[in-house]
């Protein structure tokens, strides 16, 4: 595929991961078709116990099934199965502003971007629970501090991707932490990206959120820690090395001063501890250097995979 073909008639896929969204999925499919008449709407059902899949099919969506439980597993399957030039990812709960999708796609195309994040702006207090809002700020802040500032609402389920983003994304997450992984993928490869505020509504009565503030927040925190270890090993192990070195000097300097003054080492266990801490510090720096080289190689491979696909013109 060449860039001109993508520019002339981009194939648009609206991808909707769903679990027990029988109350809302038909409305999501209808709104997607109305906003993007030329797009194909894909709904992948994730072991729903209601009629989500059947309702989505009757509404005109292409329905797929993913048996491995978790939103991350569904997104990974959709990215692998679906072939398009532009992908609009949206949740099946009918809370996102699908009418804004043409604007997000126009931005993606006009600036030849690979990723546009739809930042949620809740018009009603019930739309965006305080616990979720606080957790999102904390987790987004951690990612901004570690990987760079660009996105204010990292956990939004409303995102638009280019083909080169989707097909170079090495999805690893199983659950709701997939949004964090998607964001960090864009930041790590320094992809041309943007963020657009979009309206965020409330779920209809009888529809419940599948996101657990504490359980999924902890999983996202663990994912961030793992990604820091994988993508910023020198900074992580270097910081640990500095900590061990400071502790070694804290315990060791009084022993050395006493030895220089008297020729004696009265606190042998303290001297051994200080020596051990300094050795651990050196080992931590060494591990960071080795892993940094591995990370650089892996990042180059991801970059090469990303460059095998034509950009949107």
Q: What is the pLDDT along the chain (313 residues), one digit of tens a residue?
A: 444 444 467 999 999 999 999 999 999 999 999 999 999 999 999 999 999 999 999 999 999 999 999 999 999 999 999 999 999 999 999 999 999 999 999 999 999 999 999 998 876 545 455 555 666 666 666 666 666 667 888 888 999 999 999 999 988 888 878 888 898 888 888 899 999 999 988 767 655 555 665 665 677 677 677 777 777 888 889 999 999 999 999 998 888 888 888 878 778 888 899 999 999 999 999 999 998 888 888 788 888 888 888 887 6
What pLDDT shows up at residue 3? 45
Give the predicted TM-score (pTM) of the model.
0.76
Q: How distant, in Å, are the alpha carbons of 225, 239, 288, 289, 290 from that of 284?
A: 17, 9, 6, 9, 10
Helix (H) or strand (E) holding 115: strand 115-122
Q: Give the whole-angstrom CA distance, residue 122 versus residue 233.
A: 37
With vertex at residue 168, the alpha carbon angle to CA 167 and CA 172, rounded to the nearest 5 degrees, is 100
Instruction: Using DSSP bridges, classify how beta strands 12-18 and 62-65 pair: parallel, antiparallel or unpaired.
Output: unpaired
Q: How distant, in Å, are the alpha carbons of 201, 203, 213 from that of 126?
A: 8, 9, 15
What pLDDT shows up at residue 138? 66
What pLDDT shows up at residue 5? 45
Residue with tokens 């992948």: 44
Task: Output DSSP code: residue 51.
Answer: S
User: What does the pLDDT look like over 302-313, one tens digit per residue?
Assistant: 888 888 888 876
CATH of domain 3-231: 3.90.550.10
Task: Report the candidate in 214, 228, 220 with the shortest Cα–Cα distance to residue 145.
Answer: 228
Please list the residues that pair with 42 across neighbouring strands: 15, 62
What pLDDT shows up at residue 47? 92
Domain edges within the chain: 3-231, 233-305
What pLDDT shows up at residue 244? 94
Residue with tokens 């779920």: 203
């Amino acid at each position: 595929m060449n860039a001109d073909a993508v520019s002339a008639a981009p194939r648009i896929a609206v991808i909707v991961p769903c679990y027990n969204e029988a109350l809302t999925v038909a409305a999501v499919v209808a709104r997607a078709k109305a906003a993007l008449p030329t797009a194909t709407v894909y709904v992948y059902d994730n072991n729903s116990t209601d009629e989500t899949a059947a309702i989505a099919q009757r509404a005109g969506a292409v329905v797929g099934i993913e048996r491995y439980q978790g939103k991350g597993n569904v997104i990974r399957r959709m990215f692998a199965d679906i072939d398009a030039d532009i992908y609009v990812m949206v949740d099946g709960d009918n809370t996102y502003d699908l009418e804004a999708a043409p604007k997000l796609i126009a931005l993606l195309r006009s600036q030849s971007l690979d990723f546009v994040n739809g930042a949620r702006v809740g018009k009603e207090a019930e739309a965006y629970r305080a616990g979720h809002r606080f957790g999102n700020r904390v987790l987004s802040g951690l990612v901004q501090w570690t990987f760079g500032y660009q996105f204010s609402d990292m956990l939004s389920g409303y995102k638009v991707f280019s083909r080169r983003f989707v097909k170079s994304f090495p999805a690893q997450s199983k659950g709701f932490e997939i949004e964090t992984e998607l964001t960090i993928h864009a930041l790590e490869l320094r992809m041309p990206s943007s963020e657009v505020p979009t309206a965020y509504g409330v779920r209809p009565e009888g529809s419940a959120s599948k996101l657990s503030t504490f359980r999924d927040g902890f999983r996202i925190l663990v994912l961030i820690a793992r990604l820091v270890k994988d993508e910023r090993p020198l900074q992580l192990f270097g910081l640990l090395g500095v900590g061990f070195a400071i502790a070694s000097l804290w315990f060791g300097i009084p022993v050395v001063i006493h030895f220089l003054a008297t020729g004696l080492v009265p606190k042998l266990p303290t001297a051994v501890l200080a020596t051990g801490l300094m050795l651990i510090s050196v080992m931590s720096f060494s591990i960071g250097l080795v892993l940094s080289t591995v990370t650089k190689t892996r990042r180059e491979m991801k970059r090469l995979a990303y460059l095998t696909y034509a950009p949107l013109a």
